[in-house]
Structure 1
Amino acid sequence: MTDKIEDLKNNINEEHWARLIDDFDQRIAELHKNIDFPSYSDWSLSALQALQGDQGAKLTMENLQNNNEELKHSLDEMAMLYLIQPMLRHYLYRSINHNKENNPPL
């Protein structure tokens, strides 16, 4: 696993990182289509309250996910994708800057 991580860290291919960002953005959009907005908005606000320490909101979030396996899977996947996005953008910008420094315009 370490070799794969090193390969990714050393990857300066802009297209690779841009393609991953596009793929992940598309997947997030697909997941959002499967969740109705009013419910998603309520869940998001409940999650915010839970993160702020509201025990009732924590229980609501646990019950929500425990009672709907498909929803739990979607929310877990969305959380993972949102977690990864900043790292993808970091490596994309790093590769763009690297390529600009090593291939200045003529």
Structure 2
Amino acid sequence: MLGGNGEILDVGMADRFFTEPQRRALAIRDGSHCHFPGCQVPERRCVAHHMMAWDDFGPTDLANGVLLCKSHHTFVHHKGWTVRMGAHGHPEYIPPEWVDPHQKVQRP
């Protein structure tokens, strides 16, 4: 997939880190802030997160990326939250059982 200026937006496993054009595309898709439900931290203070970890062969592609602020990035990596691509083409979040015993999917 190419961006408006011909930038490669889906790089697979070739690169671990999301590029600036990829970050812009994620911000356009998900809004210009942390994508976690209810969070409004601006995109410029967020990191591009691999929903399927790069170490687990998760590609550095738009379909596997989401912008998260530092706090919500920590939620996903260390507090048991799961983020995945929903059927509607936007990331969705599953809380750990200790937050919600039913683990109801949350969407922004």
Higher relative contact order (CA 8 A, sep 6+): 1
Higher helix proportion (structure 1 or 2)? 1
TM norm structure 2: 0.20
TM norm structure 1: 0.20
Higher strand proportion (structure 1 or 2)? 2
Q: State the structure with more CA Rg.
A: 1
